[in-house]
Amino acid sequence: MSRMDDDSARRFASSLAHFTPGSSPPRTRGTTHDIDAVRAELRAAAATEAFGRALTQALAAYLNRPVRVSADVRTIAARPREVVIYAAEIGTTRWWIDFDARLVWSIADAMLGGSGTAERPKDAERCEELATRVATIFLAEITAVASFAPPASARIVDEAWLEDAQIVGTCAVGADAFAWRAGVAETSVSATIESKPEMPHARATADAPTESDERTASERVGAALVAACSSVRGTLRCAVSSGQPTVQEIDDAQLPAAALRLALTAGGPGALVLSAPRDAVAAFAAAVAGVPVPASWESGSIVLAAAEAALRQLIREVADRLPRLSGVPQRIVHLASDAQLARARCVAANIELNLAGSAAELNFIVPAWMTEAI
């Protein structure tokens, strides 16, 4: 490995920890001199073993499995025939990374609990989207070298503007290592990578009980569940259908066995609780990713994270249809496996969804006060 001078070594050592906004003065960005200096820091970092270790540790912690990541600016290799490019913008700088497509497939397989197989999947595009989180992790480590705030997220882009890479290396998630490259460039207003803001979901007024609503609490909750399950079709990458929920009002609800539990609190007594058993978690994860979840996936894997993203939206959709929660600050938290519910009047409901042929039965417990008309 080549050696850095003492000043470069000190800068690099201080940047190994993630930068957090406000922790140090902001860098002046945007001039040619600044970009050249940042690129020099990246090249210097790539020449150190510490940088490769930082990338390896960050990715291993996320995937919860051994991985190997190297970064060496001296690496000379032909660019893979097929690559996937991810980018994020920070101020007037654009940070990008490209992965050999086989690395993307390997990452996606590992995220879904597999062994990191680098075989072309049936839906490669969906695997590319799934690997966006890993690209964001890489970019967070890379931007930290130059004391930039880590990007909130990366996105897939084309290569029309692609600059020369300052860092190149390899990454092995499964048995084989594949190439990746990364760099930074200046941006212009016309070249910024922007996504269109999401339009708020239109709500049918019939979903929410009003003072003239003569339905029972059970009927209100049942209608909210059906409407909420229908609304998540745009998020999941498969056909979604649901049956009619089984709903009852009870005084002493018991939490069913579950692989994942979420609780939504809104200032009042008790919480809206969603419980998902193992099969439901696997079905939702597969629906989010667009690829099957291996039957051998283990609890605590990325499968839980993929399913949780969709289930968090679902519990919010249910809450949106309960007027007592409208405009009230809400918080969603994990519920411990040994959690006990306080004895109180509530509505318990079960609903089964069909996600591309996979059954996903969910249990909801709703405090009675949340079902009341305004």
pLDDT value at residue 326: 65
Q: Out of 58-72, 192-206, 242-256, 358-372, which region has the weakest mean confidence (pLDDT)?
A: 192-206
- Higher confidence at residue 159 or residue 364? 364
Query: How do residues 264-273 score in pLDDT, each as one tens digit?
Result: 988 788 899 9
CB 342 within 8 A of CB 360: no
Model confidence at 160, pLDDT cuts 50, 70, 90, reads low
In this prediction, residues 38-43 reach a mean pLDDT of 87
pLDDT at 322 over 60: yes
In this prediction, residues 109-138 reach a mean pLDDT of 84
pLDDT value at residue 235: 67
Specify the CATH class of 6-191 in words. Answer: alpha beta
pLDDT at 33 over 70: no
Query: How do residues 275-288 score in pLDDT, each as one tens digit?
Result: 999 999 988 988 87
pLDDT value at residue 227: 86
Tokens of 371: 């079902």
**pLDDT over 70 for what percent of the chain?**
76
The mean predicted confidence, pLDDT, of the chain is 77
Location of each CATH 3.40.1550.10 domain in the chain: 209-371
In this prediction, residues 27-55 reach a mean pLDDT of 75
pLDDT value at residue 115: 82
pLDDT value at residue 363: 96
Query: Any idea what the Cα angle at residue 64 is, between residues 62 and 69, rounded to 5°?
Result: 70
Give a three-class secondary structure readout of the chain: CCCCCHHHHHHHHHCCCCCCCCCCCCCCCCCHHHHHHHHHHHHHHHCCHHHHHHHHHHHHHHHCCCCEEEECCCCCCCCCCCEEEEEEEECCEEEEEEEEHHHHHHHHHHHCCCCCCCCCCCCHHHHHHHCHHHHHHHHHHHHHHCCCCCCCCCEEECCCCCCCCCEEEEEECCCCEEEEEEEEEECCHHHCCCCCCCCCCCCCHHHCCCCCCCCCHHHHHHHHHHHHHHHHHHCCCCCEEECCCEEEEECCCCCCCCCEEEEEECCCCCCEEEEECHHHHHHHHHHHHCCCCCCCCCCCCHHHHHHHHHHHHHHHHHHHCCHHHCCCCCEEEECCCCCCCCCCCEEEEEEEEEECCEEEEEEEEEEHHHHCCC
pLDDT value at residue 26: 40
Q: Out of 62-66, 70-74, 154-158, which region has the weakest mean confidence (pLDDT)?
A: 70-74
Specify the CATH class of 209-371 in words. Answer: alpha beta
pLDDT value at residue 325: 78
- Euclidean distance between CA atoms 221 and 347, whole angstroms: 8
